[in-house]
């Protein structure tokens, strides 16, 4: 069985164990992996040291939310990840993966800034920025908030998501969180896509029969 298969099986098992919903589970791991590869492919010629860290980048991308404090105690998640990775990748790679996934969250970066990871700094930014780019999926944001509060209305969820995008997601570039050319270019493209998603939801909720209050 290939390493990537084992990694995704671990994501599925951990998601089931800790009730990690789709917004941070298997499909999200796949999405961030795709963005991480795109950033890595664009950066590896500029920063050749990345070529020796490719596995670290992909492992970190796939596993990054399997210790998310929104779903579990971070320390417990890290221990399970470390145990899972034993004898699958080199010890130095495990240590770097742990450093990346425990310091890359938006909240930690906003609070503490970027960590100093030396020769692994660029690998860190590849994974961190890939995660930020997945945040532009407006429906994913809606899914997380609905799963978080099953009693929430779609209308309230939509309004909360709009506020999050205006105050946080759309500010990624202005806040200096996107350092690679690829991520900065994608910011504009993905922002336009998110605005289209938001507009479609607005039409459904406030301009259609199904969204018209009292129609059913």
Split into its structural domains, the chain has a count of 2
Q: How far apart are CA 93 and CA 56, in angstroms?
A: 6
Q: 89 and 14, same structural domain? A: yes
Query: Could you tell me if 129 and 194 lie in one domain?
Result: no
Same domain, 169 and 125: no
Residue 140 and residue 120 in one domain = no
Q: Which of 112, 134, 156 is the last residue of a domain?
A: 134
Task: Give me the domain span that covers residue 62.
Answer: 1-134
Phi, psi dihedrals of residue 135, rounded to the nearest 5°? -75, -10
Do 101 and 148 sit in the same domain of this protein? no
Whether 55 and 41 map to the same domain: the answer is: yes
**Same domain as 13, residue 41:** yes
Are 106 and 168 in contact by the 8 Å Cβ rule? The answer is: yes
| Domain harbouring 47, CATH code | 1.10.3210.10
For 154-163, the CB contacts below 8 A with 24+ separation are: 154/205, 155/205, 158/201, 158/202, 158/205, 161/198, 162/198
Structural domain ending residue among the three candidates 134, 159, 193: 134
Q: Are residues 130 and 143 in the same domain?
A: no
Tens-digit pLDDT profile for the chain (216 aa)?
A: 999 999 999 999 999 999 999 899 999 999 999 999 999 999 999 999 999 999 999 999 999 999 999 999 999 999 999 999 999 999 999 999 999 999 999 999 999 999 999 999 999 999 999 999 999 999 999 999 998 887 789 999 999 999 999 999 999 999 999 999 999 999 999 999 999 999 999 999 998 878 766 554
Q: Are residues 52 and 82 in the same domain?
A: yes
Domain boundary among 79, 109, 134: 134
Q: What is the pLDDT of residue 152?
A: 83
Three-point CA angle 177, 60, 96, nearest 5°? 90
Q: Are residues 19 and 112 in the same domain?
A: yes
Same structural domain, 155 and 84: no
Q: How far apart are CA 63 and CA 100, in angstroms?
A: 10
CB atoms within 10 A of CB 135: 18
Residues 124 and 151 in one domain: no
Which pLDDT value is given to residue 208?
80
Using a pLDDT cut of 90, give the percent of the chain over it: 92
Phi-psi region of 27 (alpha: psi -120 to 50; beta: other; left: phi over 0): alpha
In the chain, at which residue ranges do the beta strands (DSSP E only) sit? none
Q: Three-state DSSP class for 157?
A: helix
pLDDT digits (tens, 9 = 90+) for 72-114: 999 999 999 999 999 999 999 999 999 999 999 999 999 999 9
């Amino acid at each position: 069985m290939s390493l990537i298969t084992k990694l995704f099986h671990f994501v599925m098992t951990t998601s089931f164990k800790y009730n990690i919903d789709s917004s941070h589970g298997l499909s999200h791991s796949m999405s961030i992996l795709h963005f991480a590869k795109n950033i890595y492919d664009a950066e590896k010629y500029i920063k050749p040291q990345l070529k020796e860290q490719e596995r670290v980048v992909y492992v970190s991308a796939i596993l990054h939310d399997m210790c998310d404090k929104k779903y579990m105690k971070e320390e417990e998640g890290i221990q399970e990840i470390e145990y899972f990775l034993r004898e699958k990748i080199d010890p130095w790679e495990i240590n770097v993966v742990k450093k990346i996934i425990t310091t890359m969250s938006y909240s930690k970066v906003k609070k503490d800034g970027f960590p100093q990871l030396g020769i692994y700094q660029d690998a860190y930014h590849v994974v961190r920025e890939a995660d930020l780019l997945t945040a532009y999926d407006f429906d994913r944001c809606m899914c997380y908030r609905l799963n978080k509060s099953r009693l929430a209305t779609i209308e309230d969820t939509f309004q909360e998501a709009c506020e999050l995008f205006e105050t946080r997601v759309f500010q990624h570039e202005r806040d200096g969180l996107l350092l690679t050319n690829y991520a900065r270019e994608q910011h504009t493209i993905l922002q336009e896509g998110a605005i289209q998603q938001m507009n479609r939801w607005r039409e459904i909720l406030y301009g259609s029969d199904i969204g018209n209050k009292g129609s059913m």
